[in-house]
Amino acid sequence: MTQKLPSEQPEQRLTDALWTPSPHFDDRPDPSDISLVVIHCISLPEGQFGGPQVTDLFQGCLDCQSHPGFEELEGLRVSAHLFIDREGQLQQFVELDKRAWHAGVSSFEGRERCNDFSIGIELEGTDHSPFTDAQYQRLAEVCQSLLARYPNLSKSRIVGHSDIAPGRKTDPGREFDWSRLLSQLSK
């Protein structure tokens, strides 16, 4: 159930994203309180890129018996708003005004439950491998769009999963070039 969005779609979907809806979302407590962007990385199996497994995971149909590393994912209900693959292609799983399930147990500036007020962006990759030029370019475009759209966002509120769940998460990892991303943003 994947389709390219026409330009007249509601603003809760990015028009240049491939819309692939996930069942793993719910309503935000306050949809106007979007004030954080959380950057993650994912690959399934780890370090292997280009397959359908991430999409399958976010859609709740990953065959957990197809790879030994997937057994721990059995029954997991997880999603992100957006996914950027190695070529910079953008996929959207959850509308921006809805709560995607990407952050887990988390806290930012003393506020818990980051899923309530954040947009989750997954980059195809690992915590210990560099990301591609195409990914940085697309991520900067997406973040610039989000900064323009949500008045409570700023460059200082674009963080990694490791920043909101230290000790539990390490993504997007040491290879992620924060200065490169932030220098591409004008706000």
Residue 115 belongs to domain with CATH number? 3.40.80.10
Q: Is 99 within a domain? A: yes
- Residue carrying the six token digits 């560099």: 130
Question: Bridge-partner residues for 159, per DSSP?
Answer: 38
- 8 Å CB contact between 19 and 3: yes
Distance CA 28, CA 25 (A): 9
Would you state the structure tokens that stand for residue 161, as one six-digit string? Answer: 């999963």
In a domain, 68, yes or no: yes
The predicted model scores a pTM of 0.93
Residue 8 in domain: no
pLDDT of 157: 98
- Per-residue confidence (pLDDT) for residue 9, from 0 to 100: 39
Residue-level pLDDT at 68? 93
DSSP state of 123: E
pLDDT of residue 10: 47
Predicted confidence at residue 11, as pLDDT, reads: 81
Going by the DSSP 8-state scheme, the letter that residue 178 receives in this structure is H
In a domain, 6, yes or no: no
Q: What stretches in the chain show pLDDT beneath 50?
A: 1-10, 187
90 in a structural domain = yes
In 3D space, the residue among 173, 19, 5, 150 whose CA is nearest the CA of residue 93 turns out to be: 19
Q: Of all residues in the chain, what percent are helix, strand and coil, respectively (each to 5)? A: 25, 20, 55
Residues 6+ apart with CB under 8 A from 21: 1, 59, 93, 94
pLDDT of residue 187: 46
113 in a structural domain = yes
Domain with 110, as residue range(s), is 21-183
Q: Is the residue at 156 inside a domain?
A: yes
Number of domains in the chain: 1
- The angle at the Cα of 115, spanning 131 to 60, to the nearest 5 degrees, equals 75
Question: What three-state secondary structure class fits 98?
Answer: strand
pLDDT at 139: 98
* Residue 155 placed within a domain: yes
Task: List, by residue number, the catalytic residues.
Answer: 122
